[in-house]
């Protein structure tokens, strides 16, 4: 791994003595400052009852320092590598490096973070010492370190994947996002570590995953590593097939199945307690579908290339438009929703009480489908119409936002809860309210969605026919 040329390249740049000693000086100063302040409090201010409390306090303070370094500093370094290549106009050279995609990814993740990894290893040694001296449970320390490692991997992989965008021309937006995230996340992380220090037996706190009891820190670690694996596959796909969507069709379906499996496993214990956990599970699993659709979008060039393939087949004729539909983003969107619908029906069967009406739930799923279909049609309209107008995406995004939030605004203005139900957000919220059971309003909302779908569906159908007609003229 250390023979990776990218690691060697970043080692020469990040470990240059003039630059490296600046980091070393800052790091040593912070370490000495933390120890000095705590020692002064122990020696003169009686902040701690005994030496054990002193070391325990140092453990959690150094853990906070480790969290900030690994969650913020390393993620920033990993996310800045590709942007620097683009700014330095060396991204084409990076593309042509005769390295497998996984070596490029590891070269960035390790090479850009050599300084942080060195400081982290020193911090880790001190954490172990302070933890033992502070009589912190060894099992708890191990679980904390595993959670720290898994979330660090997830944060770095996510940062790297989000930065692989050759169309980006500047770096300022990335810095602004990192600073904005740090502004909100750092206080939350510090608060989490403080809360962690007050829970003496966290290693013995178990949560249910289906019928299995798992320590909460281990469960968080396993989930983080699971999503890290998918993100790493996305990075490899970005490096290998830069212009292709992030997900393949099979990958999108498998990812959704895995995500739903995890969500149901976390809700499984609570599903028999009432309808609210079921609808919360629905909400948790239905929202990511649109994100998966977005990450799986095939562009118009893919349609044009596929039209050449289907029209070269014998007896293509009238089945050509059907073939395009089966190849299109719409077919994948329907399959993804069908997977979610099956999981939603399964959670209904898991409920062991009479208030869950199967037919009523099935009707709710159908109404949700009409709303989902409208949003998917707008997304597909963006794909097939973007070459004709560069601003069509802005218009369609405005329509989608208006469709989603306008009923919420009007409901507040007129103080009428009925209007709220004509928004997909309001409709989902109504599922959590047992007092809202008006089938007429649900039917009206579904018919309204169906009516709204007609115009974008007509435009998409027209564009599909135009693609086939243009291919025939070539």
- pLDDT beyond 90 at 456: yes
Is the alpha carbon torsion for 395, 397, 398, 403 positive or negative? Answer: positive
Nearest to 160 by CA among 17, 337, 349, 6: 6
Q: Of 180, 204, 239, which closes a domain?
A: 239
Whether the CB-CB separation of 423 and 406 falls below 8 Å is answered with yes
Report residue 227's pLDDT band, with 50, 70 and 90 as the boundaries.
Answer: very high
Do residues 42 and 51 lie in contact, with contact meaning Cβ atoms separated by under 8 Å? Answer: yes
Same domain, 317 and 267: yes
Least confident interval from 205-209, 314-318, 378-382, 407-411: 314-318
Structure-token pair, residue 121: 């290893």
Question: Cα(241)–Cα(225) distance, rounded to whole angstroms?
Answer: 24
State the pTM of this model: 0.86
297 plus 224 within the same structural domain: no
**Taking a C-beta distance cutoff of 8 angstroms, is the pair 285, 255 a contact?**
no
Residues 6+ apart with CB under 8 A from 399: 378
Helix (H) or strand (E) run with residue 206 in it: strand 206-209
Structure tokens belonging to residue 139: 């099992």
Q: Compute and round to an integer the Cα radius of gyration of the chain.
A: 27
Alpha carbon distance 379, 396 (integer Å): 8
Give the Cβ contact number of residue 70 at 10 Å: 23
Same domain, 284 and 416: yes
Q: State residue 391 phi and psi, 5-degree precision.
A: -100, 5
Both 14 and 161 in one domain: the answer is yes
Question: Of residues 473 and 275, which shows the higher confidence score?
Answer: 275
337 pLDDT higher than 50: yes
State how far the Cα of 321 lies from the Cα of 381, in Å rounded to an integer.
Answer: 16
Measured between alpha carbons, how far is residue 95 from residues 84, 108, 111, 233 in Å?
A: 14, 13, 17, 18
Domain holding 42, by residue range, is: 5-239
pLDDT tens sequence across 56-75: 888 888 888 898 888 888 99
Mean pLDDT of the chain: 83
Q: Are residues 215 and 254 in the same domain?
A: no
| Domain-ending residue, one of 239, 255, 281 | 239
Residues 300 and 364 in one domain: yes
State the alpha helices, DSSP H only, in 268-355.
Answer: 275-295, 300-311, 319-327, 329-350
Tens-digit pLDDT profile for residues 278-315: 888 888 898 889 999 999 988 888 888 887 777 666 65
If asked whether residues 230 and 268 sit together in one domain, one would say no
How many domains is the chain partitioned into structurally?
A: 2
Per DSSP, helices labelled H in 44-89 are 51-68, 74-87
Burial of 300 (0-12, 13-18, 19+ CB in 10 A): middle
pLDDT of 154? 93
What band does 169 get if pLDDT is binned at 50, 70 and 90? very low
Q: What is the pLDDT of residues 342-358, one digit of tens each?
A: 998 888 877 755 555 77
Which residue among 180, 208, 239 closes a domain? 239
Nearest to 282 by CA among 227, 343, 359, 332: 343
**Residues 219 and 335 grouped into a single domain:** no
Q: Do 380 and 396 fall into the same domain?
A: yes
Q: How far is CA 348 from CA 268, 281, 351, in A?
A: 11, 11, 5
Can you give the pLDDT at residue 178? 54
Verify that 185 and 293 share a domain, yes or no: no
160 and 276 fall within a common domain = no
Q: Are residues 9 and 146 in the same domain?
A: yes
Neighbours of 266 (CB within 10 A): 17
Question: C-alpha distances in angstroms, 421 versus 114, 391, 410, 411, 427?
Answer: 53, 31, 11, 9, 5
Could you tell me the CA-to-CA distances from 424 to 139, 255, 430, 431 in Å, in that order?
A: 45, 24, 10, 11
Structure tokens at 94: 């990076």
Is-contact 376 457, C-beta < 8 A?
Answer: no
């Amino acid at each position: 791994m250390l023979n990776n040329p990218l690691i060697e390249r970043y080692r020469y740049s990040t470990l240059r003595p003039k630059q490296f000693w600046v980091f070393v000086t800052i790091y040593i100063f912070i370490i000495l400052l933390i120890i000095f302040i705590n020692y002064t409090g122990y020696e003169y201010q009686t902040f701690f009852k005994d030496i054990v409390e002193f070391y325990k306090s140092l453990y959690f303070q150094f853990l906070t320092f480790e969290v900030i370094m690994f969650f913020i500093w390393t993620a920033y370094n990993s996310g800045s590598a590709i942007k620097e290549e683009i700014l330095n106009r060396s991204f084409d050279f990076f593309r042509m490096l005769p390295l497998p995609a996984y070596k490029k990814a590891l070269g960035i993740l390790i090479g850009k973070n050599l300084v942080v990894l060195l400081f982290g290893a020193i911090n880790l040694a001190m954490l172990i010492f302070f933890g033992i001296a502070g009589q912190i449970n060894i099992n708890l320390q191990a679980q904390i370190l595993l959670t720290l490692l898994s979330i660090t991997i997830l944060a770095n992989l996510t940062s790297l994947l989000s930065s692989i965008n050759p169309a980006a021309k500047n770096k300022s937006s990335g810095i602004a996002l990192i600073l904005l995230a740090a502004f909100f996340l750092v206080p939350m992380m510090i608060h989490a570590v403080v809360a962690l220090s007050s829970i003496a037996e966290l290693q013995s706190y178990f949560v249910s995953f289906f019928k299995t009891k798992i320590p909460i820190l281990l469960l968080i670690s396993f989930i983080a590593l699971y999503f890290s694996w998918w993100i790493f596959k996305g990075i490899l796909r970005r490096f290998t097939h830069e212009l292709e969507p992030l997900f393949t069709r099979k990958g999108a379906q498998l990812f959704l199945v895995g995500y739903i499996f995890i969500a149901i496993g976390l809700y499984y214990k609570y599903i028999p307690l009432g309808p609210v956990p079921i609808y919360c599970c629905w909400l948790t699993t239905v929202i990511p579908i649109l994100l998966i659709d977005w990450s799986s979008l095939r562009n118009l060039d893919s349609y044009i290339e596929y039209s050449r393939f289907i029209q070269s087949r014998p007896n293509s004729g009238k089945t050509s438009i059907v073939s395009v539909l089966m190849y299109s983003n719409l077919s994948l969107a329907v399959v993804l929703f069908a997977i979610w619908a099956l999981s939603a029906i399964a959670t209904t069967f898991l409920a062991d009480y009479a208030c869950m009406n199967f037919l009523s739930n099935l009707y709710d799923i159908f109404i949700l489908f009409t709303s989902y279909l409208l949003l998917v049609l707008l997304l597909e309209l963006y794909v097939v119409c973007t070459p004709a107008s560069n601003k069509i995406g802005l218009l369609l995004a405005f329509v989608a936002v208006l469709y989603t939030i306008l009923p919420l605004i009007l409901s507040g203005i007129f103080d009428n809860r009925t209007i709220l139900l004509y928004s997909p957000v309001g409709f989902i919220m109504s599922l959590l309210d047992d007092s809202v059971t008006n089938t007429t309003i649900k039917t009206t909302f579904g018919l309204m969605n169906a009516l709204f779908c007609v115009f974008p569906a007509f435009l998409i159908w027209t564009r599909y026919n135009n693609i086939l007609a243009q291919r025939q003229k070539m």
